[in-house]
């Protein structure tokens, strides 16, 4: 179950392998700027930052498929309802295609005001409302009762996401819960100990649309062997991972 959903989410085989490395006790740096680069643009961090352009997590990042109502004050001919296309863009009168996916609503409002104000309107005021959000979902996979895709709201946390998936299965290791997040051109991954979150010793992190949550088994070797069987990894690679203390 783990490989299928992760590959749907666009993660590479190398990402999956190195996730198992993290389960074996790799200790990353404390911020994405000082994160350990583990494979290409994938970085292992202690805590995931909020996605870019979301006002520090106050905004939920927009995703392809989201439907927006755009209101340009006193310019009714420019106001309309549009859907973000599969490329992450929307097309608007006068200014044409604009990248929207990955941005927060307020960030996109400011960008449209600048674009319209540069050539067409004086001091434009743009208001954007999220009408439909088919894309605001999180993937929860691994040792949970009901792995799958679940809707998230601006207040969804890691514990909420696990609860949506029916909680942990018997073989789950609550110390080995990994969350993947796109951050600009990079992919970040962090390891969370749900036990310490539940007893108040650690913060319950926010979960955003597009995140992937993976729960591994108590024995790291089991997770590695599962990846090897499903993805056809070589014995040499798998042995190298298992040897990490």
Domains of the chain: 2-55+136-242 (3.10.560.10), 62-132 (3.30.1950.10)
- Residue in this structure with the two tokens 């599962």, named with its chain if needed: 226
Q: Looking at 51-60, 115-124, 129-138, 152-161, which range is the least confident one?
A: 51-60
CA–CA dist 209, 215 (Å, integer) = 18
Q: What's the rounded Cα separation, in Å, for the pair 10 and 4?
A: 10
- Among the listed residues 81, 116, 86, the one whose alpha carbon sits nearest the alpha carbon of residue 101: 86
The pair phi, psi for residue 49, each rounded to 5°, is: -75, 160
Tell me the torsion sign for CA atoms 148, 154, 158, 162. negative
- Is the per-residue pLDDT at 91 higher than 60? yes
CA-to-CA separations, 58 to 1, 5, 55, 91, 133, in angstroms, rounded = 32, 28, 5, 25, 17
Note the pTM of the prediction, 2 decimals: 0.61
Average pLDDT value over all residues in the chain: 75
| Lowest mean pLDDT, pick from 30-34, 60-64, 81-85, 240-244 | 240-244
User: Which of residues 75 and 33 earns the better pLDDT score?
Assistant: 75
Distance of CA 165 to the CA centre of its chain: 16
Asked if pLDDT for residue 5 goes beyond 90, the answer is: no
pLDDT tens sequence across 166-214: 999 999 999 988 888 887 677 788 889 999 999 999 999 999 888 889 8
pLDDT of residue 42: 62
Terminal CA-CA length for the chain: 26
């Amino acid at each position: 179950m783990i490989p299928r959903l992760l590959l749907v989410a666009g993660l590479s085989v190398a990402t999956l392998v190195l996730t198992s490395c993290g389960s074996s006790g790799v200790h990353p740096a404390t911020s994405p700027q000082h994160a350990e680069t583990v494979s290409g643009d994938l970085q292992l961090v202690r805590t995931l930052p909020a996605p870019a352009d979301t006002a520090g997590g106050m905004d939920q990042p927009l995703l392809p498929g989201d439907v927006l109502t755009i209101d340009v004050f006193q310019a009714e001919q420019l106001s309309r309802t549009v859907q973000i296309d599969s490329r992450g863009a929307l097309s608007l009168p006068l200014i044409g295609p604009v990248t929207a996916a990955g941005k927060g609503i307020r960030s996109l409002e400011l960008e449209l005001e600048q674009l319209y104000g540069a050539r067409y309107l004086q001091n434009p005021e743009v208001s954007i409302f999220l009408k439909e959000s088919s894309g605001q979902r999180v993937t929860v996979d691994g040792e949970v009762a009901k792995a799958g895709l679940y809707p998230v709201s601006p207040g969804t946390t890691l514990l909420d996401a696990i609860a949506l998936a029916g909680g942990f299965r018997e073989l789950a290791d609550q110390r080995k819960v990994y969350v993947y997040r796109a951050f600009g051109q990079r992919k970040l991954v962090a390891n969370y100990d749900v036990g310490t979150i539940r007893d108040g010793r650690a913060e319950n992190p926010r979960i955003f649309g597009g995140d992937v949550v993976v729960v591994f088994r108590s024995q790291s070797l089991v997770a590695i062997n599962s990846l090897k069987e499903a993805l056809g990894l070589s014995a040499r690679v798998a042995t190298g991972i298992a040897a990490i203390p």
